[in-house]
Structure 1
Amino acid sequence: MTLGVIRYGTDVTIERPRFDGFLAVLVPLCGQLAVEQHGHEHVAEPERSMVVLSPGHDDSRVRWARGTTVLALKVESAELNQALRWVAPQADERPFVASSPVVTGSASRAVIGTAQLFTDVFSRIGPSKSVPLPLARRLREQAITTLWLSVPNNHTDVIHQIREVPKSAHVRQAIDLLAAESRAEYTVPDLARAVHVGVRALEMAFRRDLDQTPLQYVHRIRLERAHDDLRDLGPSETTVTEVALRWGFPHLGRFAARYRAQFGEMPSETLNSPAQ
């Protein structure tokens, strides 16, 4: 999976033959982007729509107006197909095909939000260090899940169809897996795979049994584990940043806000408080 910003200083037309190897998402940040398929032209504009060139789409012609800046996300088809198994285990084997080459509404905002999260993480970690593996996996799976859930596609109806709510045993199994973590290891899709249900089905079970989503539960439990580390280790042994990243919170501002809401003090206050 790759993420970047593309800008041309002049009008550009790109002839793109059908290619089933990857999905390309182009989100205009400024300017205008047009895509033509089957003699029909679709136009994407900032904050309104984005271009999605997916496996299964025929030849396309993409035109960039001068000065157009685009956020580009590319995901290999094999990764998308593998992800479908845990997003919707009941889905068939067909590859991802977007319903239209231009997608409007909330989908582009969801993609931009995911890209912003990547940017925040990379800027905090810096170019000389690698992203911790559990955090990298979480970012990757969030991006792919966002595409499956937000971009209308040939599996959308199946993804959002809940055939059977799993038994409470699945919730207990997920809770046990989280309790055994020594750092942020499981994403919500990981948990769903481990207990042999789909992501949506696991969410329904958590809402029914605990009145919260799996992600809300994960955040609460990991905040508690972060609180324990900050209290027990002290400033000579760790930092707030290290603890936040260990427990899967890449955005330190959001981590601090959630931490304060749950414990009534900032993470730095816990870290620097006298040992109990």
Structure 2
Amino acid sequence: MSVGPPRAQIALSARARSLEEAHALGASLFYPHVLTPLGPKDDVGLVASAARLGPVTAGVLEYSSGIRIDTGEYGSAVQVNVPLFGSLKTTIGDEHVRATNRIAAVYPHDVPTIIAGWDSPLAMLAVKLDRLTVERRLQQYEQAVDLHGVPTLDVRTGPSADWVAAVRRVIATAQRLPAMDEGLVRFLADRCIDGLVLALTADPSSPSSTDAATDQTIVDRAREAITYSSGPLLSLHDLSQYVGVNARSLQLSFKRVLGQTPMQVQRRERLHRVARELKASAHGVDRVQTIALKHGFTHLGRFSAEYERTFGELPSRTLAR
């Protein structure tokens, strides 16, 4: 028996084999648009691997031939497109931009755009972010950024390169773990939003951490995922997927930084959640079993013993006080 929040289906992986299917797939993921082939209509196709994360939709789109995309204003969203190979000719208001794997195109919410297209097959990282969420996060960082003045973003190095790498890890994680609880959906969305805010506000000469994550960075990412998660306990494999390293690297980093395993840290965090909820339960109306199951403890005898070792009393005693 397990009790926990519903798990959201966040991953999409699809192939469109015609112009009409490619148009429908692109519109379902991002925005209404007009899709115009630049060559034979029958050559148009689209392969998409994407993650839907509430305020963020991120995907790798691979078009099989040259096309043009016309959209109106994005309205409620900010869009960033990064070609992974090939180049993308685009117009953002009055700005003409050629985006490449080094230079991303940044589209404000209230400017009509034209993706004038590409003449050959292209793979593109496309990221759609809720405008109000991005603006609120910028305010939290006490940064004033006019997105109309940022038509491009240099993604070769620094925080911008880190952001691209993080978004690609998020998409890969969604494909491997297509269903997850809402807390972890927020965790992945926040990584995308916070990374973009840092990229928009940081000194372009800031060093990139993409090439080698430190032990402390790995531990910090994992503890953040643990904090966001709810429902069943995360396995070592799943936790390593959220962090973007293999399971052995995750274990070694925890040992070096904290002297504990990731699972020990996670169980202790969950035990403290249980203790807080037991203390807050009015007149013991919630049974220990219900609260323990809610936080991922399915073996109640083992849970009670672990709780007593940690807090010096049985959970039933905490509930009764």
Alpha-carbon shift at residue 62 of structure 1 (Å): 3.2
Give the distance between the partners of 1:104 and 1:239, measured in 2 at CA.
37
Which of the pair has more CA radius of gyration? Answer: 2
Alpha-carbon shift at residue 75 of structure 1 (Å): 0.9
Other-structure match for 2:189: 140
The number of residue pairs the alignment matches comes to: 190
Other-structure match for 1:45: 100
Other-structure match for 1:15: 70
**Contact 1:12–1:64 under 8 Å retained in 2:** yes
TM-score w.r.t. length of structure 2: 0.48
The correspondence for 2:149, drawn from 88, 92, 99, is 99
Other-structure match for 2:255: 260
1:240 to 2:240 alignment: no
Alpha-carbon shift at residue 57 of structure 1 (Å): 3.2
- Decide which moves more: 5-14 or 261-270: 261-270
Alpha-carbon shift at residue 55 of structure 1 (Å): 1.8
Alpha-carbon shift at residue 21 of structure 1 (Å): 1.8
Q: Structure 1 unaligned segments of length 5 or more: list them.
A: 161-214, 227-236
Give the share of equivalent positions with the same residue, in percent: 19
Alpha-carbon shift at residue 63 of structure 1 (Å): 1.7
Q: Secondary structure at the match of 1:6?
A: strand
Give the distance between the partners of 2:132 and 2:236, measured in 1 at CA.
37
Give the distance between the partners of 1:40 and 1:221, measured in 2 at CA.
41
Matches within 5 A, 1:121-140: 121-125=173-177, 127=178, 130-140=179-189
Give the distance between the partners of 1:37 and 1:221, measured in 2 at CA.
38
**Contact 2:79–2:106 under 8 Å retained in 1:** yes
2:77 partner letter: F
Give the distance between the partners of 2:147 and 2:234, measured in 1 at CA.
46
Q: Which has the higher strand share?
A: 2
Other-structure match for 1:67: 121
1:85 to 2:139 alignment: yes
Tell me how large the CA RMSD over aligned residues is. Answer: 4.1
**Contact 2:163–2:196 under 8 Å retained in 1:** yes
Seen in structure 2, the aligned counterparts of structure 1 residues 221 and 119 have a Cα distance that, compared at 3 Å, is closer
Q: Secondary structure at the match of 2:147?
A: coil
TM-score w.r.t. length of structure 1: 0.54
Alpha-carbon shift at residue 64 of structure 1 (Å): 2.5
**Contact 1:120–1:251 under 8 Å retained in 2:** no
- Decide which moves more: 256-265 or 68-77: 256-265
Q: Secondary structure at the match of 2:180?
A: coil
Q: Secondary structure at the match of 2:188?
A: helix
Q: Secondary structure at the match of 1:148?
A: helix
Give the distance between the partners of 2:119 and 2:84, measured in 1 at CA.
12
